[in-house]
Structure 1
Amino acid sequence: MITRSNYTRYYLPLFFILLGLVLKGLFLGSNSLGGDEPFSVYHSQQSLSNLFSIFQQENNPPLHFLLLHYWIKYFGISEISVRIPSLIFSSFTVLFVYRIGLRFFNLRVAVIASIIFTFSTYQVIFAHEARAYALMGFLTAVSMFHYLEIIHSKNRNFRNFFWFFLANTLLIYTHFFGFFILFIQFFFILFQPRLLKDYYKFLLLFSGVMLVTYSPYMWLILSRFSSAAGGTWVSPPSGISELYEMLRAFSNAPVTAVFTIMTMVAGFVLLILKRRKNPARMATRLIFCWFYLPFLFMFVISFRIPMFLDRYLMFLSIGFPLMVAVSADFVIHHPKFRLLIPGLICLLFLVTVKPNKTNKREVRETVQLVKQLEGNNTLVLVAPVHFSLNFIYYYDRHLFQFPDTELIQKKLNERSVYCINGLEGLDYKSRKHIVLVDAASNFSAPGNNILNTLNATFNQTNKHHLEEIFDIYEFEHK
């Protein structure tokens, strides 16, 4: 017998999980593997000894690489295969979004937040990416649910502590920005006298456990932070308009963003004015701190150390649907109109979601075109070197699996394919036909002068552009 309790506790969240799997899984392989995905796949397929040597220099902690390593071992390296873990993590995140809403607010908040999360194009994008971000979002949701269980309901049983510490440990071994969640949880207790009085022992235990569990990797995060202080590859914000642009990315479309922002502002003001009438004051404060504090902090600090990038905000994007849902639920209390604003927001997300959103990396199409242009005496130049794994994945899947990158380059050179940052030391003038693949080489290898030099020596006979950064040039002897 399906009771109301079973329906709200089990069947509704199961429905949202299955809906996420279908919606996000429909076009899982439509985009090329691009950006840093081939890097993750290439190194994850290597032996564990090779992987651990990479971890000593890699900019990301090891957990996602290790999970992908064992996944690839059984399921291979196709586009769909390597993205399935991200699809699973993203789809199951809604379970904890729903549970936070139901447990600490009400059924309306749980359903609204789950709809916003499920139909978020932002979340679809990272469910389609073989990187650590979907896992980061999942662990963030698990951590926050059990954190609230501990401090809100004073439910101090071993199970909540165990899952809380496990989720946080895995979170900071997934991505360095997972530390933002730990800082939010730490300072949320520290700056509230009533909480601090009851939970100072928990705070000390929390700090000690995290320091111990991360001590083997602490040297790396300190070295990464010191290097980031000198500048990162991310551009500083151009102005306050980038706050809106990020909210628009979370909200699918401009019309949804405008309505969502208005709801957030109205809800925030009303929650402050009527805070004594809010039955979930502590959970509400945490949700707003979870989103607003790192959102504004990362924006401000990015003028000095740029980090205000959509993927780096994954940990707070999990709090976004909850914050919008809480705000929407609080704006109108009249029973006849209470669902008006939440219903409109959910409808806007439903009609604006793009489950087949392009990642703007047409690597597959680029390599296919290169293969069509190749001839017997064609020299193929791929710039920059950073793009080489993207290119090789589609150029020769068997070669991509070689454990030695130097051997891969040697095999490519034997086929007159060179991955370069410049033309120095390369015998190219004797070739009758040259194909240059330029993947925004001026960004990672500024001043390479490859295109200008080839234009001075050869006749440029054709140019092809593919989304978003790929230009293919053909040259013949003058």
Structure 2
Amino acid sequence: MVFAIFFRFYNYNEFSLSNDELSAVIRLNFNSLSEVIDNGIRPDGHPAGAEILLYFWTKYFGLTVSSIRFPFVLISCFAPLFAFLFMKRLFGYSPALFLAAAIAFLEFPILYSQIARPYGIGLTFVLMATYFWAELIFVNHNSKSKKILLAFLLSVSWALSLYTHYFASLTVVIIGITGLFYLNKSIIKYYLASGIGSIILFIPHLQITMHQLSLGGVGQWLGAPDNLWIWHHIIYIFNNSIYLFAFLIAIISAIYILNFKIKFRFSSLQFVLLTWFLLPFLIGFLYSKFINPVLQNSVLIFSMPFFLAFIFSFIPKNFSTSNSVVFILLFTTISADTFLFEKYYQKQHFAEFKAITEILNDWQNKFKNQKILNLANVNTLEYFKFYEKSFGKEINFSGSSYKSNADLWKLKSILDTTTADYISFSDLQNNSSSMTLSIIESKFPDIIYEKHFADISSIYLFNRHSIKNDSINFINNNSLNINENIYSNDEYYCPSKIKLPKFSKKTLEIYCRYNFESSADTSACHLVVDIQDVNGNSKLWQSLPLKYISSKNIKNEALFHKFIEMKMNHNWVKIYIWNSKKEFIKAQKINIFIGLKDR
């Protein structure tokens, strides 16, 4: 418990609030609890428990990061304890100690215990329900009052799970049904009463649940799982390390063989543990495949302990000296992997709103006499307001989404009309269109600042002024130069192939500077860069639709565009205009230059 508490509270208020946490905070911005339920909970898709906890807690303790996360972290600290208690009741002291330590040290349960979301607290509630379930069914209590107390605690634990997350609900429903096969006459009425009691406690939420189920899943951004998803999830449980998983399996197998002389035993309770892990996955997998995608690692945190419990159930009950040595070895390895090799506390786990807001605030102070236009790709600009208050200055944005064609047209319009000297672009979702940076660079070609927070979020600062000529080596000497009219519906124009020279650094940026004059609509045209190997095989291919950077009736529009980053030597670059729909176009004067820049 000491380690579990330390690992969960350490640094819990230092890293940025995530998208989901900021969404929960924004949904508190109503005048009453009933308004929070109607406008913040009903449209969300999660049960009301976590949001109501957050509502009352922040009402009395404030809206700081520490305050927002504290009750969630505190409740989550009890997950290893309840894991130990239920495992000890079913399989003995030694397997219980292994299970509790795994939940205390692995990255998956630690991460979701440190944020103000339903996953960590839901894990605690499910394990609490499992412990009272095992205590009521498998222990022969002669005291009627003890049975009543256990039934009451089981009922409350089930209800808390129901109010926390629908996958937690699914998990405890499966556990509840399983219990029916182990009942005897002395406890059947207490067990059934606990189930009925949890349903009664959940009745006030049923109307909200029915509304949320009608909304479907999160298919707008979450894709359907592939057939190997369960394998990837198992590896994710073990810090995304197949080596850690293999090491654990090898150690447990060695203990089993040494103690049981290879006499393999598989009890009904071990089968139950495996079922509790697999059934929520299977239901979520089929629902995601055929109805609406909902399956992601976080929603299976509630069933994750049962896979670990299944593995550790093969350890002998009695804690021998050899077991203690293995225990120290195994969990020294897990903790080393989590905190030293995986660098858990240095890793970027979620989108970085805190640092990006601070950077934007610094730029506003730095460029006081020059205009800076802020663009962002984020669910809602309201997410920035939480950290804006910390830095004391509001940041004005001109756009917040760049995914669809309509978004890109809007971006082009903004760039065509702005008088700003600088443009900042903050990508907090990393799912903006691949054309977004290309379109910005066509008007603001010089990137003077660029920072990436893992592969989760990024921030850029662009300068309107052209890139200095001495920083780019133009290698083709204007070899793609056509000063004659084009009246055609051909598919390809001006194909040219240029040998790339050797370069000194690992990555190379390819720039394209071109003039394209047209007196007709060129919406079907793309500028294509195709990087090929010595045999002419395409290795990297990228196209830039001219419609996003050029307008109808263009005249002498000179543009810069950084196409691609290369990591290869001795290759060719092929560049051409691609008229993808073979529509008739009328164009004059195409000048294309290929420029290289070491990075």
TM-score category, normalised to shorter length: 0.7 to 0.9
CA shift in 2, pair 1:289/1:267, >3 Å: farther
* Partners of 1:317 and 1:132 in 2: CA distance: 15
Matched, 1:383 2:371: no
The residue number in structure 2 matching 1:420 is 400
The answer as to whether partners of 2:46 and 2:164 remain within 8 angstroms in 1 is yes
RMSD: 3.6
The residue number in structure 2 matching 1:351 is 336
The residue number in structure 1 matching 2:424 is 436
- Cα deviation for residue 419 of structure 1 reads 4.4
Higher helix share: 1
The residue number in structure 2 matching 1:23 is 7
The answer as to whether partners of 1:462 and 1:473 remain within 8 angstroms in 2 is yes
**In the alignment, which of 172, 175, 178 is matched to residue 182 of structure 1?**
172
The residue number in structure 2 matching 1:40 is 24
Q: What letter corresponds to residue 318 of structure 1 in structure 2?
A: P
- Cα deviation for residue 19 of structure 1 reads 2.2
Q: What letter corresponds to residue 474 of structure 1 in structure 2?
A: F
The residue number in structure 2 matching 1:363 is 353
SS at match of 1:472: strand
Unaligned runs of at least 5 residues, structure 1 = 1-15, 400-410
CA shift in 2, pair 1:350/1:430, >3 Å: closer
Moved more, 111-120 or 452-461: 452-461
Q: What letter corresponds to residue 354 of structure 2 in structure 1?
A: R
* Partners of 1:302 and 1:372 in 2: CA distance: 43
CA shift in 2, pair 1:292/1:261, >3 Å: farther
Matched, 1:392 2:385: yes
The residue number in structure 2 matching 1:324 is 311
Moved more, 174-183 or 149-158: 149-158
SS at match of 1:465: strand
The residue number in structure 2 matching 1:228 is 216
Q: What letter corresponds to residue 185 of structure 1 in structure 2?
A: I
The answer as to whether partners of 2:21 and 2:116 remain within 8 angstroms in 1 is yes
Matches within 5 A, 1:40-189: 40-44=24-28, 46-49=30-33, 50-53=35-38, 54-155=40-141, 157-189=147-179
* Partners of 1:143 and 1:169 in 2: CA distance: 9
SS at match of 2:464: strand
The residue number in structure 2 matching 1:10 is none
SS at match of 2:19: coil
- Cα deviation for residue 209 of structure 1 reads 3.6
* Partners of 2:150 and 2:429 in 1: CA distance: 49
| TM-score, normalised with respect to structure 2 | 0.64
Matches within 5 A, 1:301-340: 301-304=287-290, 305-329=292-316, 337-338=322-323
The answer as to whether partners of 2:18 and 2:353 remain within 8 angstroms in 1 is yes
Unaligned runs of at least 5 residues, structure 2 = 402-406, 467-599
CA shift in 2, pair 1:108/1:22, >3 Å: same
The answer as to whether partners of 2:377 and 2:426 remain within 8 angstroms in 1 is yes
Deviations 1:68-125 (A, max 9, x none): 2222233322223322222211212222112112333222122211211111111221
- Cα deviation for residue 347 of structure 1 reads 2.9
SS at match of 1:298: helix
Deviations 1:368-423 (A, max 9, x none): 22223333453443433514233222223488xxxxxxxxxxx95xx643343347
CA shift in 2, pair 1:465/1:196, >3 Å: farther
* Partners of 1:157 and 1:195 in 2: CA distance: 13
* Partners of 1:245 and 1:219 in 2: CA distance: 36
The answer as to whether partners of 1:234 and 1:307 remain within 8 angstroms in 2 is yes
Larger radius of gyration: 2
Between 1 and 2, higher relative CO (CA 8 Å, sep ≥ 6) is seen in: 1
- Cα deviation for residue 264 of structure 1 reads 7.4
Moved more, 452-461 or 149-158: 452-461
| TM-score, normalised with respect to structure 1 | 0.78
